[in-house]
Structure 1
């Protein structure tokens, strides 16, 4: 809701008007409202429906049925990103490095996992580091069984078991479609709270701002003297984003092995647009302030929908409709799982 408020303020200028539209519980009242208003564009901020993250894909699907353009990725891309095993299968099919993995559907499946330790265990269909803590990184079959059963019983979904890549954690924010550009890269720096513990961005590290894990896992612009490594990181991120057919903006999270190989550990289409979050900070480092970023996202979505290049002025002969007075750019926001504290600079 805070993100919607910030975007409304940034976008309501001149003849453009933005207003929030809530997606509440499992009700679909917002569909009738959208049908009546017929906005020029919907800013899609919805991350779940009825507190279920799998409902995220329903919103762009409904917008497609209504014939309304919207920002961000399609239902297909969001669904693939949330189905981590399928996303990893696509990455491997494209030759994009991602940690070796297995899926545990039932407790007895643990015995079939044949991967080198250490491993990390996480829910297969969650984001925002849900279900990830220090105990998620395991070193023995007994620890693996305990972590996998914890996911199965708590989240009622399969457990994704991945080879744990011990190395630098670097994020690549991406903006635009054709061409697609990488914003300045950011890196997580793990402090004292992570001594003799796995260097991972857990749920606490992302959302519980008073926790030692959060205080000691700061993000900052990534300084890479190795230009070849930077290019590999960007190429890997762009390839991963394209593999899932993501659109407009997002972030790809990577781990760099001791051999300098970038491994995709997560793909975040429609990442957090809070002005204090990592994407906006990366844009600011590239000289794009928050109002400019908000308007750029609108232009990118309209360009993709209507075929107008962003530098082309509106007028006779253009594909885009002439803007009516006080055009509405609606931002929808659905209920999400409780996240303690405020936005996380290096999080979603």
Structure 2
């Protein structure tokens, strides 16, 4: 079902009643809202690792009582989350973003939260890691342009791409994330170059996505779940990239090494900006996305936007000096990271209420989880050695937060 984004309204003027409600509850409630932040980083490490950037939402909702849980490993993280759920937090704020082929907590964290029916901000399992084929099919159903493509896992697939697609072509991981294995050479202009790059990606990842390269500009749009109406997600000001000299698209070095030279600015053409917001909002809904996601697009020289992908639970909350793409979009909005964070909290509670109503429980109301132990008292006696460590130290087992 097509949705109506709020592209025709200034984002600064938009604060839903649900957002206002959460703001009021969290600022006036006693005790304060208890939020468990699920992350893969030890945000309180001092010094913080020089090869990483702390992604921390806590400053944008300071009145809440935050607990940082540093999750480690896919299997281990499930056990950690299971223990954390027993502590009766009001909300889980999940920013884990591990892919299927990484040993980093990802969808299994979400599935554990869903299994126990607790409120959480962050993508749901239904939309966490859609395949590129699913994205392309959604675009086709919505009438949104997307580059022609071939998913290649054999040399024959590569030859089919060379014969049926128009050069130049772009070769990348079949479900790319974090610009993994993307370089200047990922854009190929000849069948010989295609074979070399496709062989590299297939040997490393099992398959490659080969698609037509769109010559033009590159833009990104942040989309967030609307607490009052999930069919009308909220879109933020589209940003356009200005690449370092000699670069024409984002690849691993541009993203992680020479990122100081990557600049951005609001899309200046109001007609194009409105179209980007509309298409990204409809794409978000079609993929049953939740909480937030960032859409990346190329815009051809004739002005046609081509959807590349949506990144659910995309990297966000980077330090101001090292903003990621989603942070850049928020920097263009007067409500900024604070308004965004409160909106995610409101959407999480609203989504939880709808789910409870669908299950015949909760009657659509938003309530705090019930805990037997008041916040001023010690937690119940732990039943395992790991929980005993957590109780004695205040630190999750396998967590340095």
- Any gaps of 5 or more consecutive residues in structure 2? 1-40, 44-52, 356-362, 377-395
- Within 5 Å, which residues of 2 pair with 1:284-295? 284-295=331-342
Distance in 1 between residues matched to 2:307 and 2:99, nearest whole Å: 27
Correspondence list, 1:26-41, <5 A: 26-27=75-76, 28-41=78-91
* Whole-angstrom distance in 1 between the partners of 2:256 and 2:236: 24
Secondary structure (helix, strand or coil) at the match of 2:179 reads coil
* Maintained 8 Å contact 1:271/1:279: yes
Counterpart CA distance in 2 for 1:9 and 1:181 is: 22
Distance 2:127 2:165 in 1: 28
1:18 aligned to 58, 63, 66, which one? 66
Does 1:249 pair with 2:299? no
Equivalent of residue 142 in structure 2, options 94, 102, 109 = 94
Contact 1:254 1:265 in 2 (8 A): yes
SS at match of 2:120: coil
Question: Is 1:109 equivalent to 2:138 in the alignment?
Answer: no
Match of 1:296 in 2: 343
Secondary structure, in 3 states, of the residue corresponding to 2:151? strand
Distance 2:113 2:339 in 1: 25
The residue that corresponds to 2:237 in the other structure is: 184
Structure 1 residue 230: deviation in Å?
Answer: 2.1
Distance 2:235 2:167 in 1: 33
**Residue in 1 that maps onto 2:224:** 175
**CA RMSD between the two structures:** 2.8
Distance 1:219 1:20 in 2: 32
Q: Give how far 1:65 is off.
A: 0.5
Q: Which runs of 4+ in 1 moved over 4 A?
A: 2-5, 322-327
* Displacement of 1:164: 0.3
From the superposition, tell whether residues 319 and 128 of structure 1 become closer, same or farther in structure 2 (CA, over 3 Å): same
1:220 to 2:273 alignment? no
Counterpart-to-counterpart distance in 2, 1:35 and 1:147: 45
Query: What secondary structure sits across from 1:191 in the alignment?
Result: coil
Deviations 1:210-265 (A, max 9, x none): x3xx34332222222xx322222112111211121111222111111112111001
- 1:156-196: per-residue Cα shift (whole Å, max 9, x none)? x21000110011111111123323222111111123232xx
Contact 1:5 1:20 in 2 (8 A): no
In structure 1, the partner of 2:116 is: 66
| C-alpha distance 247-232 of structure 1, shift in aligned 2 (>3 A) | same
Preserved contact between residue 123 and residue 159 of structure 1 (Cα < 8 Å): yes
> What is the aligned partner in structure 1 of residue 169 from structure 2?
119
Q: Distance in 2 between matches of 1:55 and 1:253?
A: 24
**d(CA) in 2 for partners of 1:326, 1:220:** 46
- Give the Å deviation of 1:12: 4.1
Greater CA drift, 236-245 or 162-171: 236-245
Aligned to 2:367: 321
Aligned residue number for residue 237 of structure 1 = 280
How many residue pairs get aligned? The number is 307
Instruction: Give the equivalent residue in structure 1 for 2:34.
Output: none
Q: CA deviation at 1:60?
A: 1.3
User: Given the two structures, how large is their TM-score scaled by the length of structure 1?
Assistant: 0.80
Q: How far did 1:48 drift?
A: 1.4
TM-score (norm 2): 0.70
Contact 2:96 2:313 in 1 (8 A): no
Aligned to 1:280: 327
CA separation in 1, counterparts of 2:114 and 2:342? Answer: 22
Q: Gaps spanning 5+ residues in structure 1: where?
A: 309-316, 336-348
What does the per-residue CA deviation read over 1:78-114, in whole Å, with 9 as the maximum and x for residues that have no partner? 131xx21232123223322110000111223211111
